Structure 1
Amino acid sequence: MTGKTAIVTGAARGIGLATTKLFLEEGRRVAMIDRDADTLREAAADLDDVLPVICDVSFPDQVDDMARQVENTFGRIDALVNNAGVADFGPIEQTDFERWRTVMATNLDGVFLCSQRLIPALKEARGAIVNIASISGLRASTLRIAYGTSKAAVIHLTQQQAAELGEFGVRANCVAPGPVNTKLALAVHTPEIRSAYHDAIPLNRYGSEQEIAEAVVFLASDKASYVTGQLLSVDGGFQSTGIGLPALRS
């Protein structure tokens, strides 16, 4: 064990779970945070040196309780990975305020609330924040009015964190995944969409959860000790190929 700890939100599945396992491989203890109690318990059952905590990051009181549990159990927090997020895709005219707020509450408010609550511990450890945005926060596309806007805000929030916290030795960086082979993507991406992504991405494939996790763990590590306020797109080169895809419009 390195003695270092990490908090990963949205840790019950996908990128969050892959990131958790990578942290464990490098000898960290990990607090696994998720609001899906059953899936979280199942994911944590076979892992050592983890603390599963049920928490909806969009609620300040739950975030405060979560942070207190982690601090009491681990005593220090060296890294915070704000990965929890919800995806809701639809046309502007069909995105009512309730749908808009649901996306913002987790994708943006959750990042703000977790980061703010854990700043004292991160200052003490001279730790790192890694926020998970999306390529949708960098390049506009149809059906992503709430999701894309929330992720664009996370990118800017990361820069605000870096600017304000740098003097305390706390680094803040952001990872923007492109299309990733998660269960969600497999469920909602039609064959036409998958083919369009294949043609538009220079590497001609979706990324893996492991590939995103590798970037997250690097930015949280001492190997990135002089890296802060940065956005790392892990997207197979997708951002370089232009704006929007016709196949994503319906």
Structure 2
Amino acid sequence: MYVNSADQAFSDHVALITGAGSGIGRAAAIAFAEAGAHVLGIGRREEPLKETAAAHANIEVLAMDITDDGAPAKAVSDAVRRWGRLDYLVNNAGATAVMPLAESEQQVIVDLLALNVVAPSLLAHEALPHLRETKGTIVNVSSTYGHRPMAGGAHYAASKAAVEQLTRSWALELAGEGVRVNCVAPGPTQTDVMLHAGLTQEASNEMYAYERDRIPTHHVAGAEEMAHWVLRMAEPTGRHATGQIITVDGGLELI
């Protein structure tokens, strides 16, 4: 489904992907595995991770909360222990918080930033020595709301804006060492993220219907469509692209 002739460059490379238990993370894990890479999928929930691992023989998984103390170092060392190298870090794990300013809660803000900003930073820090050796790539996952306002979700939008600035700044910092850093910014994507944010299934469906009407293409993407772009941004043949934010939202950012 994902593989073309260019993907042979992924053979025997190693990718660490967070949030691999569902949604874009699972789809990305499958995409890298089908392209020939060894994949270590990280997530909080063991059962969904097992389902991801069952999708392809190249996928192995590790259940952990990436925001725990020492977790980023453990994740990176586990990937290197299994395969002896690390070529790609995909910072996909994240959370959404639907929280108007009048209802802001300190712990929600702290937890959101811990997962969306701090954990990717620490993972990149731990991965960097290995990525320097392989001239590897970091692919961060942001959101179209990382660069456009989101009423009722300002802290989420701010966390994704931070991810985009980390991407640009790291890309500039590491360009001379051959380590690329890019970012995929999805628009509304059909996953279970809104359910984990506390919305009911009915409310989630209503939100996707609302977004579908707003998107110029009138299409809410699936996780596989986003995984395609994550894989493309990691592709070794694209070595001249770094510091880029690729928005995949059906034109939503244009309105």
One fold, TM greater than 0.5? yes
Look up the match of 2:34. 25
After TM superposition, the structure 1 = structure 2 runs for residues 118-197 of structure 1, keeping only pairs within 5 Å, are: 118-185=127-194, 187=201, 188-191=203-206, 193-197=207-211
Q: CA deviation at 1:48?
A: 0.6
- From 103, 110, 117, give the equivalent of 2:112: 103
CA RMSD of the aligned region, Å?
1.5
After TM superposition, the structure 1 = structure 2 runs for residues 15-94 of structure 1, keeping only pairs within 5 Å, are: 15-94=24-103
- From 217, 222, 234, give the equivalent of 2:248: 234
- State the 4+ residue runs in structure 1 displaced beyond 4 angstroms: none
Give the match's secondary structure for 1:80: strand
Give the match's secondary structure for 2:190: coil
Gaps of 5+ in 2: 1-9, 196-200
The separation in 2 between residues aligned to 1:166 and 1:56, in whole angstroms, is: 30
Per-residue CA deviations over 1:205-247 (Å, capped at 9, x if unaligned) read: 1011111000000000123211000000000000001xxxxxx
The separation in 1 between residues aligned to 2:127 and 2:165, in whole angstroms, is: 19
| Cα contact 1:56–1:63 (8 A) shared by 2 | no
The separation in 1 between residues aligned to 2:91 and 2:208, in whole angstroms, is: 27
Look up the match of 1:115. 124
Gaps of 5+ in 1: 242-250
The separation in 1 between residues aligned to 2:119 and 2:156, in whole angstroms, is: 14
Q: Aligned residues, how many?
A: 240
TM-score (norm 1): 0.91
Look up the match of 1:199. 213
The separation in 1 between residues aligned to 2:157 and 2:250, in whole angstroms, is: 19
Amino acid at match of 1:31: L
Distance 1:216 1:102, change over 3 A: same
| Cα contact 1:80–1:115 (8 A) shared by 2 | yes
Look up the match of 1:7. 16
Percent of paired sites with the same residue = 33
Deviates more, 1:225-234 or 1:89-98: 89-98
